[in-house]
């Protein structure tokens, strides 16, 4: 084994551990890829997960807390990410994982930098004023990841239409996250509900978790879930352009994560009593349903022009 292959094997092993600890849903979906794609997905996940943890002072997505030096942390992330994309050995597993996957796939640097911009928005305590602001944020923290995953799965970086569909899947995931995590985000002083939405519902800023406003908050969480469903539907059309096993993995992930938004909407006032998750049995059911759906032809309908479109 050459030094380069030994390094790659070690990075893949560490990345596999990272996704196993950080996301059971994504770990399950990743197992549906062919080996090369699966390993590259793990490498990309390890970098994304580590950056998120650094900014939020957490461990594999758990124990989020406010940090006093968030902007300095993002600066370090930006420097290490730029070095990795330039092909430099960083000496830090997640960033070297990015270096390897970027070199193997021709990953456009702009998507990685767009994700770092999302972390910077959080570090600056940014809040969305409008619905368009909300979508822009979702692109930076998740839509860009969807684009990177598409490239990992073999999509040509110049295929903007398919990348738009991949972005839609990331957008759907993030909208579901926001709906589910409203209470958790509030505990660390964050709110991703647009100010204009809060004004529309006559909810005073910073008071959305107070009991008198719970019914109005349910309206907004269901709005998020509805927006997530639109992006999920668009992503499902785009999945038809992927190789068979990649299509299977994407459709499985779409169903598993889509259930989070659907469950938040269904719980109504009780959506934040306990953290919404997709049970293992439901995850396996989605894997089975996706296996059937991946074999069916999909009508390649034009993307809905009403949907927010990522910057190019």
Round to whole Å and give the CA distance between 181 and 136. 18
Of the candidates 33, 35, 104, 44, the one whose C-alpha atom is nearest the C-alpha of residue 246 is 33
Handedness of CA 92, 96, 97, 102 (dihedral sign): positive
The CATH number for 160's domain is 1.10.600.10
* 243 domain-assigned: yes
175-234: pLDDT as tens digits: 999 999 999 999 988 999 999 999 999 999 889 999 999 999 999 999 999 999 999 999
Q: Per-residue pLDDT averaged across 263-289, rounded?
A: 96
**Residues 97 and 47: beta-carbon distance below 8 Å:** yes
% the chain with pLDDT above 70: 99
Alpha helices in the chain, H assignment, sequence order: 3-22, 24-30, 35-56, 70-85, 93-105, 109-123, 131-138, 144-152, 160-180, 182-187, 195-200, 214-239, 244-267, 280-293
Of the candidates 173, 138, 136, 168, the one whose C-alpha atom is nearest the C-alpha of residue 150 is 168
- Based on the fold, state whether residues 140 and 263 are members of the same structural domain: yes
Question: 4: exposed, middle or buried (C-beta count within 10 Å: 0-12, 13-18, 19+)?
Answer: exposed
- Based on the fold, state whether residues 102 and 132 are members of the same structural domain: no
The pLDDT value recorded for residue 62 is: 65
The pLDDT value recorded for residue 242 is: 94
- Based on the fold, state whether residues 153 and 297 are members of the same structural domain: yes
107-120: pLDDT as tens digits: 999 999 999 999 99
% the chain with pLDDT above 90: 86
40-94: pLDDT as tens digits: 999 999 999 999 999 877 777 666 777 778 899 999 999 999 999 999 999 999 9
- Based on the fold, state whether residues 156 and 297 are members of the same structural domain: yes
Round to whole Å and give the CA distance between 152 and 154. 5
- Based on the fold, state whether residues 248 and 218 are members of the same structural domain: yes
What domain range is 296 assigned to?
A: 127-312
* 113 domain-assigned: no
Tokens matching residue 75? 């600066």
Predicted confidence (pLDDT) at residue 261 exceeds the cutoff of 70: yes
* 115 domain-assigned: no
Q: What is the pTM of this model?
A: 0.94
Instruction: Give the range among 46-50, 122-126, 147-151, 179-183 with minimum mean pLDDT.
Output: 122-126
- Based on the fold, state whether residues 8 and 146 are members of the same structural domain: no
**Furthest CA-CA distance within the chain:** 64
Strand partners, 59: 62
- Based on the fold, state whether residues 312 and 194 are members of the same structural domain: yes
- Based on the fold, state whether residues 70 and 132 are members of the same structural domain: no
């Amino acid at each position: 084994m050459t030094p380069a292959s030994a390094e790659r094997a070690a990075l893949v092993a560490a990345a596999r551990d990272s996704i196993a600890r950080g996301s059971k849903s994504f770990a399950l979906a990743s197992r549906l890829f062919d080996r090369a794609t699966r390993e590259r997905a793990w490498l990309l996940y390890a970098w994304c997960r580590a950056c998120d943890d650094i900014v939020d002072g957490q461990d594999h997505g758990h124990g989020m807390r406010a940090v006093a030096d968030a902007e300095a942390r993002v600066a370090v992330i930006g420097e290490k990410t730029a070095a990795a994309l330039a092909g430099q050995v960083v000496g830090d597993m997640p960033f070297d994982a990015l270096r390897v996957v970027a070199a193997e796939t021709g990953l456009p640097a702009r998507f990685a930098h767009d994700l770092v911009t999302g972390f910077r928005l959080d570090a600056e305590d940014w809040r969305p004023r409008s619905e368009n602001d909300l979508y822009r944020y979702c692109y930076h923290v998740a839509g860009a990841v969807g684009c990177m995953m598409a490239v990992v799965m073999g999509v040509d970086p110049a295929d903007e239409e398919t990348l738009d569909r991949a972005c839609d899947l990331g957008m759907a995931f993030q909208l579901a996250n926001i709906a589910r995590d409203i209470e958790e985000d509030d505990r660390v002083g964050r709110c991703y509900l647009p100010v204009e939405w809060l004004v529309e519902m006559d909810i005073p800023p910073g008071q959305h978790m107070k009991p008198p406003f719970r019914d109005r908050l349910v309206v907004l969480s269901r709005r998020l879930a509805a927006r997530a469903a639109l992006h999920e539907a668009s992503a499902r059309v785009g999945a038809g352009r992927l190789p068979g096993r990649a299509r299977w993995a994407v459709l499985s992930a779409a169903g598993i994560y889509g259930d989070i938004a659907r469950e938040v909407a269904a719980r109504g006032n009780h959506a934040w009593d306990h953290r919404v998750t997709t049970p293992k049995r439901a995850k396996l059911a989605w894997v089975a349903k996706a296996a059937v759906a991946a074999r069916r032809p999909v009508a390649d309908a034009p993307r809905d022009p009403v949907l927010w479109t990522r910057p190019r």
